């Protein structure tokens, strides 16, 4: 599960970053294909976010981070849609003025920070689970070794006692 959470979180961050990249290309060029690319990338965000919510449903701290992340991502996507509208309806200078406010950068910095926290917690969980797996493997090896040694001792004991049992039967 931990690796799936990490993979999904990275996919979600990549999706948001792809939206931002397509948005910048549209603002700079005015080429509608970039606006379309942005809209297509936006469609990947919600399913990835919903999957991340499901995968972390048993982790209260991750759910709190996702609750904080949701409005930030919505605000970022809305802001980018507004930039597109400005570019299309009022031209490059209007979109540039809005872009230069730094709102998008601030939102993206907050989004990245939450993703870093999500991934850091999952990394700690992964390391702990790997350590537990190593400990379990060592314990299994010890038990198997003990069982093998016990079986060998029983076989040796049986082999040694067999001639003794045979002599005691003959002497009786």
% pLDDT > 70, the chain = 94
Rounded (10°) angle between helices 2-29 and 32-55: 160
As a whole number of angstroms, the distance between CA 12 and CA 112 comes to 11
Identify the CA nearest to 16 among candidates 115, 123, 94. 115
34-42's contacts with Cβ under 8 Å and 24+ in sequence apart are: 35/84, 35/88, 38/80, 38/84, 41/15, 42/77
What is residue 171's predicted lDDT score, i.e. its pLDDT?
63
What is residue 168's predicted lDDT score, i.e. its pLDDT?
65
Note the pLDDT tens digit of each residue in 112-124: 999 999 999 988 8
pTM score, two decimals? 0.71
């Amino acid at each position: 599960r931990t690796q799936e959470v990490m993979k999904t979180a990275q996919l979600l961050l990549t999706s948001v970053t792809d939206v931002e990249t397509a948005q910048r290309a549209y603002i700079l060029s005015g080429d509608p294909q970039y606006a379309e690319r942005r809209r297509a990338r936006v469609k990947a965000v919600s399913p990835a976010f919903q999957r991340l919510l499901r995968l972390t449903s048993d982790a209260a701290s991750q759910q709190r981070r996702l609750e904080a992340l949701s409005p930030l991502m919505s605000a970022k996507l809305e802001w980018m849609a507004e930039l597109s509208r400005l570019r299309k309806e009022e031209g490059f200078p209007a979109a540039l003025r809005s872009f230069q406010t730094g709102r998008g950068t601030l939102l993206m910095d907050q989004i990245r920070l939450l993703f870093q926290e999500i991934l850091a917690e999952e990394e700690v969980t992964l390391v702990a689970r790997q350590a537990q797996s190593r400990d379990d493997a060592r314990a299994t090896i010890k038990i198997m070794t003990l069982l093998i040694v016990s079986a060998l001792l029983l076989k040796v004991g049986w082999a040694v006692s067999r001639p003794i049992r045979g002599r005691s039967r003959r002497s009786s």
